Amino acid sequence: MLSFISRRLGTMALTMLCLTLVVFFLINLEPNLRKLAISQTEMRTTSDQLESWLQRNGYRQNFFIRYGQWLGVVQKQPNIDPATGQAVPRFRFCNEPAVPTYSGILQGDFGCSTKFKTPVATKLFPALGATGILMFWVLATMVPIALLIGILAGMREGSRTDRTLSIASIATTATPEYVSGVIFTVIFASWLGWLNGSAASASQGITFYNFTLPVMTLAIYGIGYIARMTRASMVEVMTQQYIRTARLKGLSFGNVVVKHALRNALIAPFTVIMLQFPWLLTGVVIVEVMFRYQGFGYTLVEAAGNNDIDLLLGCSLVSVFIVLITQLISDVGYAYLNPRIRVQ
Amino acid sequence: MQIEYIGAFQTFLGVLARFWPVWLAMAIVLVASFNFRKHLGLYGQLFDSGVGIAGVSICFFWLFTAIFAAKVAPFDPLSQIPIMKDALPGAIEPASKQVYLFGGDKLARDVFSRMVYGSQIVLIIAPAATAFALMVGITLGLPAGYYGGRIDSFLSFLANLVLAFPVILLFYLLVTPGIMDTPIPYAMAGVFFLFPIIFFSTLFYTRFKGRPERIYLLLGLTLLIGGWVYAGLVFNADPFGIIHIDPNQLNIFVAVVFASSPGVFRIVRGLTMDIKTRDYVAAAQTRGETPWYIMLWEILPNARGPLIVDACLRIGYTTILLGTLGYFGLGLAPESPDWGTAIKDASRLLRSFIHPALPPTIALMSFVLGLNLLADALREQSMKD
């Protein structure tokens, strides 16, 4: 088991290295750098001035050296002002050491956000916290509802309950967040006036009034998928020999479902729930933009829209890390939960 | 000048009436398919269940709407008639006496016509991108599953790399106005669009190797048609000027294919690993068939059931992806009538007007629902066999 986990962690590190390299390459394409230079010099500048800005701030160094600096395996050189010979920071809102240092991701330095004019860490981690709260509520509503629907539907395959619930869950998988968000806002905010169509005030304090719509919107798309998987797993378990044995020895149907079927039927959905995280990430971005909630997704969109290099790299690192770690947890957890695999 | 309105019931009748070419075409196709369902194989079996009929009907509805868009839509999707700005549903346009059935949006365009024309964009890009993703996924997934070993580890690593990207981040990196100045989209298009040509060439070559008269014809046709489409799409150099794609549409297309082919790859790889242990594959190996013949003519046809189901789901998923792109204003032109862009525009103004938001959302939802129902019915049918 240990060697399995360490091998997986190795693959994970390699994947993250490759992915950040790709992201680094795509962000540092020539048109993107020019866009950044234009937005940072803040006035109509000639292309010579843009070029000298890029030159001065070290964007013209070798690609791999810059990647190494970001990663923290190559020393970051201080920015020397040619007129005075003093070291000046590249951006006045971030401190930089005046001597060459290793200062990258590996040392915990995420760099400097050019859009929010602050170090990336002070922007990114509060945003992650905000999104964490959203995610918690989404999972707290999504998982129980989805499992309940799946179990009720899979208990008696082909019954009327099964058909109704199956079609309902197919319908929710056909409703992406930007569709359900609009429909829910129309119904609950514009028409009934029960809920607030914007979660901007949720940063100060979460209330039922301002937080229900984002949670609902985000949960509904995932419910259908998890419920379908739970149903399939439940249907399979209900045809097993031991269920028939339990029924034949006179146990009540409810007893069989709760005591014998449920535990075995929940192994597969566990994996599915874990693998839902990458999907939730996309959903988070849509929902946070739609309801103006200042979290991770909102930060990502702002970073991408303004070509904020360090912030966007930080965001991609975090999201890729989340995707990979949930994959790892789902594999390990599956092996742990399923005795048939554990033995091998 | 005062705008006149027609009532809600009249609006409803008006919408039904505008769709007359669609109803007619649907009636012909559905009645014909229902009567001949015994002879139509898997497609005919769909008509045995209510879910299947619902799925087929919804898909045909949007297919015919896209085909007859010019007949169904009363207005041009881009033309603005200033007096109709934010008009409520059922407003009569004074000049032509035509009705803005679902009202006007903030730029005074007809919401109904935009919804109808939006279906064209979705129904061209989504199935085509899915088809390309299938080609890429199949061509790479078959050898990965069949040979295993190094090829498998390498290709699986690449697939997992793409899958580890959150889709939205991928789109923000790949579909930006800036990237069109670089050769990256064209290079990616050049690679992806090569796969169908490789796929069909190998397909015909392995089958008709011993029959020169057939193989020269088929290979020639594949290379000719493939090369023609390839030149038109990648280099924008179609000698006849028929095949042409806008740079930003190419960009979207490539990004969508890139995002969904690893999924197909995984499914094909899994199916191949399962099927290659069957007896008929062993028989073919004993006969001395080449590996590619076995993959393409023994394994692939037997994997078609799950692949068809997956293709249906994937078209729906691609539609959702296109909507996401539109919602974030990536790639598609800002005035484009596609559903995602329309949802984005309308959702910003939900506090004042809700009518421009509902038609595109319901359209997108119903189309994806139709595809999902279709996939579900197909899965049920293939389970019965």
With contacts defined as CB-CB under 8 Å, which chain A residues touch B350? Answer: 182, 185-186, 189-190, 197
CB B166 within 8 A of CB B323: no
What pLDDT sits at residue B369? Answer: 92
Q: Note whether A239 and A303 are same-domain residues.
A: yes
- Cβ separation B178–A278 shorter than 8 A: no
Residue A119 three-state SS: strand
With contacts defined as CB-CB under 8 Å, which chain B residues touch A185? Answer: 347, 350
Classify residue A342: in a domain, yes or no: no
- Cα separations (Å) of A161 from A72, A118, A231, B52, B285? 57, 55, 12, 19, 48
Per DSSP, chain A holds a count of helices (H) and strands (E) of 16, 2
Cβ-based burial of A193 (10 A; exposed 0-12, middle 13-18, buried ≥19): exposed
Residue-wise pLDDT tens digits, B204-260: 888 888 888 888 888 888 888 888 888 888 877 777 777 777 778 888 889 999 998
Tokens, residue A263: 């535990």
- How many whole angstroms separate alpha carbon A42 and alpha carbon A36? 10
- Cβ separation B347–A286 shorter than 8 A: no
Q: Note whether A130 and A99 are same-domain residues.
A: no
What pLDDT sits at residue A343? Answer: 47
B132 CA: distance to closest CA in chain A (Å) = 22
Residue type, B295: M
Residues near A89 by beta carbon (within 8 Å), at least 6 away in sequence: A79, A95, A96
Confidence of residue B131 (pLDDT cuts 50, 70, 90): very high
Q: Is B181 on the interface with A (CB under 8 A)?
A: yes
- Domain stops at, among A59, A87, A110: A110
Could you tell me the residue range of the domain that residue A64 belongs to? 2-110
Classify residue A116: in a domain, yes or no: no
Cβ-based burial of B243 (10 A; exposed 0-12, middle 13-18, buried ≥19): middle
- Cα separations (Å) of B32 from A87, B28, B45, B65? 80, 6, 14, 19
Q: Across the strands, what pairs with A101?
A: A76
pLDDT, mean over chain B: 85
Classify residue A169: in a domain, yes or no: yes
Q: Note whether A182 and A287 are same-domain residues.
A: yes
Q: Which of A146-150, A176-180, B42-46, B296-300 has the lowest mean pLDDT?
A: B42-46
- Cβ separation B350–A185 shorter than 8 A: yes
- How many whole angstroms separate alpha carbon B3 and alpha carbon B77? 20
- Measure the CA angle with vertex B334, ends B329 and B340; round to 5°: 50
- Cβ separation B173–A27 shorter than 8 A: yes
B241 CA: distance to closest CA in chain A (Å) = 30
Residue A328 three-state SS: helix
What pLDDT sits at residue A83? Answer: 66
Q: Is B247 on the interface with A (CB under 8 A)?
A: no
- How many whole angstroms separate alpha carbon A109 and alpha carbon A125? 13
Task: Find the CB nearest A174 among B174, B346, B372.
Answer: B372
Q: For residue B38, give the DSSP letter.
A: G
Residue-wise pLDDT tens digits, A126-184: 888 888 888 899 989 988 999 999 888 888 887 888 888 988 988 888 888 888 888 88
- How many whole angstroms separate alpha carbon A268 and alpha carbon A231? 10
Chain B, nearest residue to A15 by Cα? B161
- Domain stops at, among A51, A84, A110: A110
Q: Is B368 on the interface with A (CB under 8 A)?
A: yes
Classify residue A264: in a domain, yes or no: yes
Classify residue A158: in a domain, yes or no: yes
- How many whole angstroms separate alpha carbon B241 and alpha carbon B247? 15
Q: Note whether A140 and A250 are same-domain residues.
A: yes
Residue-wise pLDDT tens digits, B17-32: 888 888 898 888 888 8
What pLDDT sits at residue A84? Answer: 67
Q: Note whether A166 and A279 are same-domain residues.
A: yes
Q: Note whether A85 and A168 are same-domain residues.
A: no
- Domain stops at, among A56, A87, A110: A110
Q: What is the DSSP annotation of B293-317?
A: HIIIIIIHHHTHHHHHHHHHHHHHH
CB A281 within 8 A of CB A218: no
| Half-sphere exposure for A191 (CA within 13 Å, toward CB) | 9
Q: Note whether A61 and A134 are same-domain residues.
A: no
CB B87 within 8 A of CB B43: no
Average pLDDT per run of 10 along chain A, which is 344 residues long? 83 88 86 77 71 75 82 74 66 69 76 77 84 89 90 85 88 88 85 74 71 87 87 86 87 84 81 78 87 87 84 87 84 75 53
Q: Is B137 on the interface with A (CB under 8 A)?
A: no
Q: Note whether A46 and A75 are same-domain residues.
A: yes
Task: Find the CB nearest A178 among B169, B323, B369.
Answer: B323
Tokens, residue A64: 């791999």
Q: Note whether A234 and A322 are same-domain residues.
A: yes
The pTM for the full model equals 0.87
What pLDDT sits at residue A90? Answer: 67
- Cβ separation B169–A183 shorter than 8 A: no
Residue A113 three-state SS: strand
> What CA dihedral angle connects A121, A122, A128 and A130, to 10 degrees?
180
Confidence of residue B81 (pLDDT cuts 50, 70, 90): confident
Residue type, A325: I
Classify residue A15: in a domain, yes or no: yes
Classify residue A323: in a domain, yes or no: yes
What pLDDT sits at residue A202? Answer: 67
SS (H, E, C) B161-197: HHHCCCHHHHHHHHCCHHHHHCCHHHHHHHHHCHHHH
Q: Note whether A243 and A103 are same-domain residues.
A: no
Q: Write the CATH number for A332.
A: 1.10.3720.10
Alpha-carbon dihedral sign for residues B91, B96, B101, B104: negative
Classify residue A117: in a domain, yes or no: no
Q: Note whether A251 and A130 are same-domain residues.
A: yes
CB A136 within 8 A of CB A118: no
**How many domains is chain A partitioned into structurally?**
2
CB B135 within 8 A of CB B191: no
Task: Choose from A26, A33, A292 for mutation: most chain B CBs within 10 A.
Answer: A26
Other C-beta atoms lying within 10 Å of the C-beta of residue B236: 14
Q: For residue A259, give the DSSP letter.
A: I
Q: Note whether A184 and A224 are same-domain residues.
A: yes
The predicted complex's ipTM stands at: 0.84
Closest CA to B325 of B105, B109, B173: B173
Alpha-carbon dihedral sign for residues B155, B156, B160, B161: negative
Average pLDDT over residues B297-311: 89
A97 CA: distance to closest CA in chain B (Å) = 31
- Cβ separation B174–A26 shorter than 8 A: yes
Q: What is the DSSP annotation of A117-175?
A: TEEHHHHHHHHHHHHHHHHHHHHHHHHHHHHHHHHHHHHSTTSHHHHHHHHHHHHHHT-
